[in-house]
Amino acid sequence: PPQPRPPEESAPVPTNKQRREAAQRHLQRQLERRAEQAKKRRRNLGVLLAAVAVAVVAGVALLVTGVFGGDDDPADPVAAGTTTPAATTSAARTTNADGTVTCEYLPDESGNPDLTDVGTPPNPEATPTEGTATVLMTTNQGDVTLTLDRSQAPCAAASFVYLTEQGFYDGTPCHRLVNADTFGVLQCGDPTGTGAGGPSYKYAEEVTPDTTYPRGTVAMAKTAAPNSTGGQFFLTFVDTELPPEYTVVGTIDEAGLGVLDAVAAGGVEGAEGPGDGAPSIPVTIEDAAVL
Over the stretch 14-33, which tens digit does the pLDDT of each residue have?
555 555 565 565 556 656 66
Burial 204-221, CB ≥16 within 10 A → b, else e: bbbbeeebebebbbbbbb
Predicted confidence (pLDDT) per residue in 159-199, tens digit: 999 999 999 999 999 999 999 999 999 999 999 999 999 99
**Residue-level pLDDT at 23:** 56
How deeply is 259 buried, as exposed, middle or buried, from its count of CB atoms within 10 A (0-12, 13-18, 19+)? buried
| DSSP β-ladder status, 198-199 and 115-116 | parallel
pLDDT at 10: 74
Q: What is the pTM of this model?
A: 0.72
- Sign of the Cα pseudo-torsion (208, 213, 217, 221, in order): positive
> What pLDDT, on a 0 to 100 scale, did the predictor assign at position 154?
98
> So what's the pLDDT on residue 8?
85
User: 3-class SS at 255?
Assistant: helix
81-129: pLDDT as tens digits = 222 233 334 446 789 999 999 999 999 998 999 999 999 999 999 999 9
What pLDDT score does 39 carry?
62
Question: What one-letter code names the amino acid at 268?
Answer: V
Stretch 52-67: mean pLDDT, rounded?
34
**Does position 47 have pLDDT exceeding 80, yes or no?**
no
Q: pLDDT tens, 203-225? A: 999 999 999 999 999 999 999 99
H/E element, 172: strand 172-173
Mean pLDDT of 129-136: 98
33 Cβ neighbours under 8 A, 6+ residues apart: none
Separation of alpha carbons 266 and 280, rounded Å: 6
pLDDT for 253-281, tens place per residue? 999 999 999 999 999 999 888 899 999 99
The DSSP code sequence of 17-72 is: HHHHHHHHHHHHHHHHHHHHHHHHHHHHHHHHHHHHHHHHHHHHHHHHHT-----S
**How far is 247 from 153, CA to CA, in rounded Å?**
7
User: What pLDDT does residue 108 have?
Assistant: 93
